[in-house]
Structure 1
């Protein structure tokens, strides 16, 4: 199995875990005299089994990310961390730009006037650079995910 396939499977497992948790909550309590739609004990066993599969799959994915070389200096795990940090920084500056460029209409001269304290043009250019770095890094990571076999 390729690493990319394992990541897709992990996402599927996680969706199934959420669905099982919701089904369990719905069937954990019923009106006196009624029967649950599904047997909670069966759902709990299925959830426990599925969580075991999720654990094993995540361990294999993590092992693969740590052992797979991304470039001459970094592992795939390092590249994933870099991508996440770039994404967080991009999100922060995008949010700051949104706040800085928000228009506050004043109805009279006595209302408080707000002014932007950052260079919007430079900050937007930086956000665009971060977005491009993120996309390029993400493409390389995705490409490597499809070429890399999942380690046992």
Structure 2
């Protein structure tokens, strides 16, 4: 099985576990004289099996990520780089938006109102955000390609 397939199975198992949690809590109590919509004990047992499967997948995915080489490190290193690039891009974009006054009134109604002046160079921040977005796309493409090439470890 390829790493990308295991990632899809992990996402599916996470969704199933969340759905089962919701169904268990919805069926955990019922009114006297009525029958519950579903057997809460059976749903709880099913959730336990799904979570065991999820734990196994997570362990194998993590082991594979740590052992799979990409460029200058492991796939785990590339994932960390992608996460930090996303955070950097978000911060720089937010700073540029705030300095540009986006989401705020862009003009004065009266001469007596104070004029707002940007404290940061908006154009430079936009260029920096574009560069970060490019780096993010490159790292993400590398990760996706590797996910489809790497075999999942046991």
Which of the five TM-score ranges fits, normalised by the shorter chain? over 0.9
> Aligned residue pairs: how many?
151
| Residue 111 (structure 1) shift | 4.0
Q: Which shifted more, 105-114 or 47-56?
A: 105-114
Corresponding residue for residue 119 of structure 1: 121
Pair 1:91-2:93 in alignment: no
* Runs of at least 5 residues in structure 2 that lack an aligned partner in the other structure: none
Q: How does 1:65-144 map to 2 (within 5 A)?
A: 65-71=65-71, 73-101=72-100, 102=102, 103-104=104-105, 105-144=107-146
Which whole-Å CA distance do the structure 2 matches of 1:35 and 1:6 have between them?
Answer: 38
- Deviation track 1:60-79 (CA, whole Å, cap 9, x = no partner) reads 000000011112x3011001
1:17 paired with 2:13, answer: no
Deviations 1:97-122 (A, max 9, x none): 22222232544344444321111111
Query: TM-score by structure 2 length?
Result: 0.91
Q: Which residue does 2:147 correspond to in 1?
A: 145
Q: Deviation per CA, 1:39-92: give whole Å up to 9, x if none.
A: 110111011111111001000000000011112x30110011011100111111
Secondary structure, aligned partner of 1:34: coil
Segments of 5+ residues of structure 1 without an aligned counterpart are: none
Scaled by the length of structure 1, the TM-score of the pair is 0.92
Provide the C-alpha distance between the structure 2 equivalents of 1:115 and 1:42, rounded to a whole number of angstroms.
63
Q: Partners in 2 of 1:80 and 1:124 — Cα distance? A: 24
Provide the residue aligned with 1:32 in structure 2.
32
When structure 1 is superposed on structure 2, of 100-109 and 19-28 the one drifting more is 100-109
Tell me: CA distance 1:32–1:140, structure 2 relative to 1, closer, same or farther (3 Å): same
